[in-house]
Amino acid sequence: MAETTLGHVDHTAPRPPGLRGFIADWSSDQRAFKGVSWGKAMMWIFLLSDTFIFGCFLLSYMTARMSTVVPWPNPSEVFALHLFGQNIPLILIAIMTFVLISSSGTMAMAVNFGYRRDRRKTAILMLLTAALGATFVGMQAFEWTKLISEGVRPWENPWGAAQFGSTFFMITGFHGTHVTIGVIFLLIVARKVWRGDYETGERGFFTSRRGQYESVEIMGLYWHFVDLVWVFIFAFFYLW
């Protein structure tokens, strides 16, 4: 025990030396470890595991693309839309990206108003985020339909390397599934916000302690992750 400059007795045990002391000091941090709810901690763990999955998918795609001896299809030609009498490259992908990135902004505002306990604005912004996410999924479905009608299959395509179809459907399909699940949960949480479940503390799924809008923040973590993953897909698959 040691006496501080204010006259108080410090009961803190001395830190052990070396690596043991570093581990003890790091693991005793109250804010980083003991102040986090189970819901938020589990979401971070889920996002970390999902990062490894998407990373493996992208690495597999890059390996397949660099190892094939057959020319890889040109994204500017494959993903072009015929508008106004001419082919416009990547126009649909650009709109999809703008929509999804915009939804990240509305989600951030929803979390902000959730902290302020503004039920109405939080619910409206979450519904707007869900609408933008559904729009993204709808445009992705149109993109898939167009490519399938043009002969793209997981095992072949009319433009070049056969691996193009399998990697495209696997990566974009897995991401689109995440967006779809996110839209469903956004609607669920927005409904609970609108009904005031987070104000009354009503028991049920995705209901935190009374007066706490933590579920909105957890939903925001998931949604920002989905948007971030799309940035990498856009860069590696559509621009490369």
pLDDT of residue 113: 93
CB burial of 13-51 (b: ≥16 within 10 Å; e: otherwise) equals eeeeeeeeeeeeeeeeeeeeeeeeeeeeeebeeebeebe
Domains belonging to the chain, first-starting first, are 38-239 (1.20.120.80)
> What own/partner pairs with CB < 8 Å and gap ≥ 24 does 59-67 have?
60/167, 61/167, 61/171, 61/236, 61/237, 62/236, 64/161, 64/163, 64/167, 65/161, 65/163, 65/167, 65/240
Give the residue ranges of DSSP H helices in 68-90: 75-78
Give residue-wise pLDDT tens across range 71-112: 999 998 899 988 888 888 999 999 999 999 999 999 999 999
Would you call 163 helix, strand, or coil by DSSP? helix
Q: How far apart are CA 9 and CA 90, in angstroms?
A: 67
pLDDT of residue 6: 42
Would you call 187 helix, strand, or coil by DSSP? helix
Global pTM value:
0.82
Positions of the chain with pLDDT under 50: 1-10, 30-32
pLDDT of residue 121: 95
Cβ atoms of 163 and 69 within 8 Å: the answer is no
Give residue-wise pLDDT tens across range 5-29: 444 444 555 667 777 766 666 655 5
